[in-house]
A and B are shown apart, each in its own frame.
Chain A
């Protein structure tokens, strides 16, 4: 994502916060509205960012991933059930990452080794995740009356979290913090390490990478599974950080919004993050406007991320270029 676009998106987010300010009822201080908008935005952006980062590693290595939704849903279930059975939130997070990585392993095996069409593989994972988690939540969780292990406690930044009004921004739960860190880490890994270079190489020019001695298959497996583990954290967000229960289909299409954010952000970590923030801010505005009694048409807000993504794909606000080898199985000559 270019610097100009990056700033443009940040400007849009500021604009959305500004609209919320303009709409606020006079007895609510401006700072409270701004802090609340930002808090809600960060909250909504967390699973979107994680989903987008999951897709990022996968797609940067040349493997298309429309299965973020399925990976997150399966991981949300895995995190919940292991957390509930062990009564350990840490074990739940680990389980979420493992389930996410296993779903990704299936995706990698199908699309890298068996060279199944990557969209088909993603479709399989999405349908499978919905079916299996729905089945297990009825047949195991409800039948055995398993209850969750609770929620991850907030981590407070000493000092800042005590400040009135903006304090809540500095008392986020662990996955929200980890997400912010992951954006930076993903950027460094992808653009500053040898492994990151290899991932990008097999995603752009697999033949050249192969000639340079990089194992295309191994690199793609690794990248896809790293992505899966991140999606797993995203799944954990739903059942360990947001609410202490698992509900069928609780990811509710966020995997696809994450995909939109990934594209919107031009397949870069920072871009994906600000895109997630933008989509989240739109939803936050919808909530805030209703709180102030202003009827913002729900459908307009609901369409927002998708229309923006199409507009940007069509090149109206600067073109985004996908990894060149995405979608193509690599066949050695």
Chain B
């Protein structure tokens, strides 16, 4: 993230800003007298031209900095979960093409449209919207602004809009892999999943994929799946205490592999497993390789069911900068994270079996049979 100072520099001096009213102050207008530190090397000089290799994107004027904006779902860009992952992707993508990136965090679902509009009116080149709830607002914005590229994370596109890429993930496959790993690794024959509400389709697909995978790998496995559905979608991802209590309840009943999926609620399950380290139980994380994001659970983290949002987003941004943007659905990568600390505990037979399952899933010879959403 940029330092606050750089931001101020980029904004230019206040009088300019005040004077230009409705429009943004382009960085070039900064008055050197009002910006004493303008010479600081850290400040992004407006002269920073895009790399010469950058192909002329349809909207980008030559020598113009490519701008990437991101609108979160209700939540923050540092949520250690999907918003953060998408933001990391936007930052990485923008950095790779020497562009700049900014975010707006949605505080109320009624603001989706307005927050997207913010980047449109500032003439951003690519706008990333995160979460299936923003799907409709993103389609509308994309249709109204054909020169801007949109990336909708977790947004399935029913019909192709040329300038809108829906970055979707087969969470059921990731869940399937995780479920298979859990069932194969479990000594007690009992595995569990602690999830946010089943109303949220990606969460549902992770959970049901887990069920299918565990059953496929070892039909006798006792599979315990618990969704946090007693609270609304605005609360279901931010309840680590519930996640932990649920994980402990499973461990009490002999579960020795717990999959935690659902923002901070799922992270709570990882903390719960870490709490019972002495019992030899292990946890499986979600979305990113949580060995990196939840250091407290490193010692018990077997793997993570990854849904690689950051890479997906940054790849599309790079493609867009090269003029290779394509509308419609783009399926991002899913898979298992490395076993890290527990690598030596995973038998070669399990690794082989998992590899086999992965290949079959990729080839389509094995299906998860999970519906896209509950109900």
Contacts and interface: CB of A to CB of B under 8 A. Distances in A.
A39 B248 contact: yes
A47 B239 CA distance: 13
B99 interface: no
Contacts of B246: 40, 287
* Max chain B Cβ within 10 angstroms of own Cβ: one of A39, A242, A291, A292: A291
Interface string A9-37: 00000000000000001011000110110
A298 B227 contact: yes
Contacts of A147: 295
Interface string B218-235: 000010111101110001
Contact of B240 (A44, A247, A288): A247
Interface residues of A, number: 43
B313 to A, nearest CB: 20
Nearest to B227: A290
Contacts of A61: none
Interface in B213-262: 222, 224-227, 229-231, 235, 238-242, 244-246, 248-250, 252-254
Interface stretch (A104-112, A206-214, A249-257, A311-319): A249-257
* Max chain A Cβ within 10 angstroms of own Cβ: one of B197, B245, B275: B245
B271 interface: yes
Given A242-B271, A245-B264, A287-B246, 14 more contacts: A25-B222, A238-B241, A243-B268, A245-B267, A247-B238, A252-B238, A252-B241, A253-B235, A286-B230, A287-B226, A290-B226, A292-B224, A298-B227, A298-B229
Interface of A: 25, 27-28, 32-33, 35-36, 39-40, 43-44, 47, 138, 142, 147-148, 150-151, 168, 238, 242-245, 247-250, 252-253, 283-284, 286-288, 290-293, 298-299, 301-302
6 A-B pairs closest in CB distance: A298-B229, A302-B230, A36-B252, A291-B224, A242-B241, A243-B240
Interface of B: 76, 78, 192, 197, 222, 224-227, 229-231, 235, 238-242, 244-246, 248-250, 252-254, 264, 267-268, 271, 275, 295-296
18 contacts: A28-B254, A32-B254, A33-B253, A40-B248, A142-B78, A238-B241, A242-B240, A242-B241, A242-B244, A243-B271, A244-B271, A245-B264, A245-B271, A249-B238, A252-B241, A287-B226, A290-B224, A302-B231
